[in-house]
Amino acid sequence: MGAPQGFSRRTTAVVSLDGGLTPAVRTANPFLNLPGGRLLEPIGASLGAASFLGEGLTVNFLNRPLPQSHQYSIDIQRSLPGNVLLEVGYTGNQLRKLPISVALNVIPAAELGRRLPTGAIDTAYYTTRIPNPMAGLIPANAALNGATIPRQNLLVPFPQFSSLTLANVPIGRQRYDALHVKATKRMSHGLTFLASYTLGKTLEQVNLLNAQDFVLNDPKRTPLAKLHANELDTPHKIAVTGVFDLPFGRNKPWGASWSGPLNALLGGWQLNWHFHYMIGWVLDYPNAKQVRPGSAELSKSERTMARWFNTSLWDDPATGRRVPVQEAFTLRDFPLRFGDVRVPNYHNWDASMSKYFYLHEDLRLQFRFEMVNAMNRPWFRSPAGGYNNVASAAFGQLSPVQSNLPRFIKLALHLMW
């Protein structure tokens, strides 16, 4: 389906003409700086290439095929004593031609990194206002229509638009490889269980290190950053689910001759459990380059909520102060995500006990005692806001908001007939 530009139009108020220093409108009419002081009307295709001048525009990559998924697997099964079935297998999945979005209106790499003799970035070169060749030609955006304009606005490939995004570019890739081990026990002697372990890795290439890396005339040549897939790359997973009929009561190994009251109290209980363990996924890398090399991962004994990774790698040894964020008008030359710093691991037990009381013929009463997160183990999977911002007081911290349920206990009676 094509984009609705021209036939469905959004109006963005121009509220300042000097980068937000002073307001240029009042609440009585926030669209005062637009043509006629009114909302923009849909124009259809009547203006051709002159459509949407001064606006932010998103266009679709035209020759975009459907994504491709190549899946393959191999499994070996073996029956073991005790009615246990063991299964070992490998699973792979390669995704190609995944759609990604790319910002086109960026300052070319050749124009970035201009510095003063002191070594500092020459910010004034980019922000100085110069004569505007588009003056009076872009009435829909007063910030681009004036007699002068910041030089950085004219350095982008399409200065007549406030922004330009190319969507659905089919160059993204993702790969998943995993070893699976599963043991299944069929019900015998009152016990059945399913235990599984997965050793896997999910890598993706759907991000550009810098928007300037995009090769417009041949997108397939665009270098993409190879990263651990966020929230998908969990190297180790363990899950164990089971049901056990306790061997006490009538027709059981112990207590087969119990009297009615004793059997009603102690016999016929069933235990259910589910255990789930999972390694956490990687975190985004901070917005500045490390001063010292090395892994930011801390040992288990060193990690705390207030210092989840080694933030000292971003402390300047010469001054003892935190390094500044990446300089404006420069290219990023450090990772987008960590390779080894991950959110806390997930570790959870759910358990329940139940028993049926046979009241009369088909009339049964079931009692259940259930515990969710039986060990009351909290999971703080969310980083604090600003955790990857070296200028933030929350740098390197986790959010104290628990992501899983606290211990939850429930007693229930179910009458069935």
Q: Is residue 333 helix, strand or coil?
A: coil
Per-residue confidence (pLDDT) for residue 55, from 0 to 100: 87
Rounded to two decimals, the pTM is: 0.82
Confirm if 32 and 25 have CB atoms less than 8 A apart. Answer: yes
The two three-digit tokens of residue 25, written as one number: 């409108």
Confirm if 188 and 86 have CB atoms less than 8 A apart. Answer: no
Sign of the dihedral defined by the CA atoms of residues 251, 256, 262, 266, in that order: negative
Per-residue confidence (pLDDT) for residue 214, from 0 to 100: 97
Closest-CA residue to 91 (of 228, 199, 222)? 199
Per-residue confidence (pLDDT) for residue 1, from 0 to 100: 53
Task: Return the H-helix or E-strand segment holding 188.
Answer: strand 163-188
Distance, CA of 157 to CA of 202 (rounded, Å): 35
Task: Return the H-helix or E-strand segment holding 125.
Answer: helix 123-127
Per-residue confidence (pLDDT) for residue 25, from 0 to 100: 82
Tokens 């016929």 correspond to what residue?
268
Which residue(s) pair with 265 in the sheet? none
Q: Which amino acid is at 380?
A: F
Could you tell me which residues come within 8 angstroms of residue 103 by beta carbon, excluding any fewer than 6 positions away? 163, 164, 165, 211
Per-residue confidence (pLDDT) for residue 342, from 0 to 100: 97
DSSP 8-class letter at 332: -
> Could you state, in chain order, the average pLDDT of each consecutive group of 10 residues for the chain (417 residues)?
66 78 81 80 76 88 92 96 95 97 96 95 95 92 93 95 95 97 92 96 97 96 96 96 86 72 77 96 97 94 96 94 95 96 97 85 86 95 96 96 94 88
